[in-house]
């Protein structure tokens, strides 16, 4: 009898030790599964470059390209810009909804969207920068290919953004990957600005002297003459835009290939336990979550401020500051400064919290927006201001995408039975931002038309000068202030963020323990 009891105790002890050993192995496996290598983070980050490279080129140069190279009337240019962005905004939640319902494949859930959309997107992007030989169908041409490209790019970027939640279950690793991503994305803006600006800058669009310009020079200029570079024709400028677009298309494809082969989706990071919901249910769900609504509205206004600045800065440099031959270099300095300061903002938000980083990073742009319109035109001063402004732009790039995972985690904690909706959260954030930016770009181009903008003019009326100052200074400052007021009510501070992280880790541990118990039970039955 004693032997039997001793054997039973020994057996129980052995089972207990085995259980502890299995638990330790499960924890180690979970930690290894959540940890990302530097190579994986870099490959993931490189995948964000195409969106920023093309977006920067379109944001800085499309308006001036349509007005001065394609010679589209400002009114129709405003329609192209507005409809293109508005259409893009509509496709974001639609694609997000479709992505959320997509099945898992051998390549993952997000990767097939990225791979299939890339070749079609680069073709449409290239055709945006081609001036068709027919004058009557020019507006339809740009409208169609701009809308098509935006739709195909959405099929790339929405799955890519949601991929953040599928590469690791660890919040720290996702934040680190996001910092890598933002560094590469801002570097992408440098590349986009550099490629587009430098190639086009060597063949800047010829301008036509207007009004007093004829009297001041005492010369007659033909319609194909650039007074700063008289040997350059409009055809050379058109070719330069096409060369730049071809280079950017090649980089788009290369980055997509690196992302596809360098990043692995982890199905176990986000467990789908609910049935897919309808499109309008998704809208009610995301906007019904208070922290998400406040985050989106806050960044909606601050993002609009920087988009207004981006969309009109090239015209501002050319006509208000008078740096027609240097604006591409000024843009390059801004983006280079933003790239260099991304690591600083990652350290800052880790040390002082994300909400504090929003206030400090966003408000630091206001002094430079004021100075750039008050100080007399001086190239050196403009470079200094541009470098300083890039510091704020880095914060504007990093913080929205760093804070969105916190909101998704908060939703998971409050709604443990409703999971698998990450793509919807990301797509609706992009939707609101793009729709508002489309409205702002359309209104700004229309404002220039009302102010009397002269297509390909070497100078512009005083009313255009005043309008450009409002669009790059006064209007953005007002938008930033409104956005920061909304952020006062944003409830997710560092304490709540860490609490959510702890609760989600406990949920995952419970799920893994339940699965392990179920596996052991099945094995014992067998």
| pTM of the predicted model as reported, rounded to 2 decimal places | 0.67
Residue 143 half-sphere exposure toward CB, CA atoms < 13 A = 13
| pLDDT, tens digit (0-9, with 9 covering 90-100), for 200-216 | 776 565 566 655 544 43
Identify the CATH class of 36-208+233-265. mainly alpha
| pLDDT, tens digit (0-9, with 9 covering 90-100), for 40-88 | 888 888 988 898 888 888 877 888 888 888 888 888 888 888 888 778 7
Residue range 148-163: mean pLDDT, rounded: 87
- DSSP H/E element including 355: helix 354-363
pLDDT at 295 over 80: yes
Residue 408 half-sphere exposure toward CB, CA atoms < 13 A = 27
**So what's the pLDDT on residue 222?**
38
| pLDDT, tens digit (0-9, with 9 covering 90-100), for 381-409 | 888 888 888 888 888 777 877 888 888 88
- Return d(Cα 149, Cα 118) in angstroms, integer: 10
> Which residue from 150, 151, 188, 167 is spatially nearest to 52, judged by alpha carbons?
188
| pLDDT, tens digit (0-9, with 9 covering 90-100), for 426-465 | 777 777 777 777 777 777 878 888 888 877 677 788 888 8
Cα distances from 526 to residues 37, 520, 522, in angstroms, run 39, 10, 6
- Are 332 and 190 in contact by the 8 Å Cβ rule? The answer is yes
- Return d(Cα 96, Cα 111) in angstroms, integer: 14
Q: Which residues pair with 208 in a beta bridge?
A: 457
| Cβ neighbours for 120, distance < 8 A, ≥ 6 positions apart | 148, 152
**So what's the pLDDT on residue 119?**
94
Cα distances from 70 to residues 63, 197, 301, in angstroms, run 10, 17, 31
Number of neighbours of residue 455 by Cβ within 10 angstroms:
16
User: 3-class DSSP state for residue 403?
Assistant: helix
* In the chain, ranges of CATH 1.20.1250.20 domains: 36-208+233-265, 280-519
Residue range 245-250: mean pLDDT, rounded: 92
Residue range 475-481: mean pLDDT, rounded: 91
Residue with tokens 């570097």: 187
User: 3-class DSSP state for residue 309?
Assistant: helix
pLDDT at 467 over 60: yes
- Are 350 and 398 in contact by the 8 Å Cβ rule? The answer is no
Residue 388 half-sphere exposure toward CB, CA atoms < 13 A = 16
pLDDT at 118 over 50: yes
- Return d(Cα 393, Cα 341) in angstroms, integer: 9
Token digits of residue 86: 């508005």
The full DSSP string for 322-344 is: --TTTHHHHHHHHHHHHHHHHHH
Identify the CATH class of 280-519. mainly alpha
From its phi and psi, is residue 211 left (phi > 0), alpha (psi between -120 and 50) or beta? left
> Of how many residues is the chain composed?
526
């Amino acid at each position: 009898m004693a032997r039997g009891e001793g054997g039973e105790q020994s057996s129980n002890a052995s089972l207990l030790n085995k259980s502890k050993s299995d638990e330790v192995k499960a924890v180690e496996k979970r930690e290894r599964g959540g940890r990302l290598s530097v190579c994986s983070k870099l490959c993931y980050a490189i995948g964000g470059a195409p969106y920023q490279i093309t977006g920067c080129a379109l944001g800085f140069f499309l308006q001036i390209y349509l007005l001065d190279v394609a010679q589209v009337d400002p009114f129709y240019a405003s329609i192209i810009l507005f409809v293109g962005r508005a259409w893009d905004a509509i496709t974001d939640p639609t694609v997000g909804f479709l992505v959320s319902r997509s099945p898992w494949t051998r390549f993952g859930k997000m990767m097939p969207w990225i791979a299939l959309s890339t070749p079609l997107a680069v073709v449409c992007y290239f055709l945006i920068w081609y001036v068709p030989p027919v004058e009557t169908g020019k507006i339809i041409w740009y409208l169609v290919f701009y809308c098509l490209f935006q739709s195909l790019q959405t099929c790339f970027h929405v799955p890519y953004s949601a991929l953040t939640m599928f590469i690791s279950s660890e919040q720290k690793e996702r934040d680190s990957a996001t910092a890598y991503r933002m560094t590469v994305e801002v570097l992408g803006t440098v590349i986009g600005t550099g490629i587009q600006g430098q190639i086009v800058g060597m063949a800047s669009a010829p301008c036509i002297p207007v009004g007093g310009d004829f009297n001041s020079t005492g010369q007659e200029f033909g319609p194909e003459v650039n007074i700063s570079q008289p040997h350059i024709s409009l055809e050379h400028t058109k070719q330069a835009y096409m060369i730049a677009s071809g280079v950017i298309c090649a980089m788009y494809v290369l980055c997509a290939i690196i992302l596809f082969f360098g990043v692995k989706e982890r199905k176990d990071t986000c467990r789908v336990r609910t049935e897919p919901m309808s499109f309008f249910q998704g809208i009610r769900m995301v906007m019904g979550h208070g922290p998400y609504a406040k985050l989106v509205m806050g960044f909606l206004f601050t993002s609009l401020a920087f988009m207004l600045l981006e969309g009109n800065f090239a015209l501002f440099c050319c006509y208000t500051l008078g740096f027609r031959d240097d604006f591409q270099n000024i843009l390059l300095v801004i983006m280079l400064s933003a790239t260099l300061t991304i690591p600083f903002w990652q350290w800052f938000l880790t040390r002082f919290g994300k909400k504090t980083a929003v206030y400090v990073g966003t408000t630091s742009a206001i002094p430079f927006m004021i100075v750039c319109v008050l100080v007399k035109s001086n190239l050196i001063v403009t470079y200094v201001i541009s470098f300083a402004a890039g510091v704020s732009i880095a914060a504007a790039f990093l913080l929205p995408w760093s804070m969105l995972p916190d909101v998704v985690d908060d939703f998971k904690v409050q709604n443990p039975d409703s999971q698998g909706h990450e793509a919807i959260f990301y797509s609706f954030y992009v939707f609101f931002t793009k729709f508002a930016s489309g409205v702002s770009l359309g209104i700004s181009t229309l404002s220039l038309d009302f102010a009397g903008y002269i297509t390909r003019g070497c100078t512009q009326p005083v009313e255009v000068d005043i309008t450009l100052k409002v669009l790059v200074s006064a209007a953005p400052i007002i938008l930033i202030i409104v956005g920061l007021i909304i952020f006062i009510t944003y409830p997710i501070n560092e304490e709540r963020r860490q609490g959510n992280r702890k609760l989600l880790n406990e949920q995952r541990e419970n799920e893994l323990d339940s699965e392990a118990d179920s596996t052991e039970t099945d094995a014992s039955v067998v």
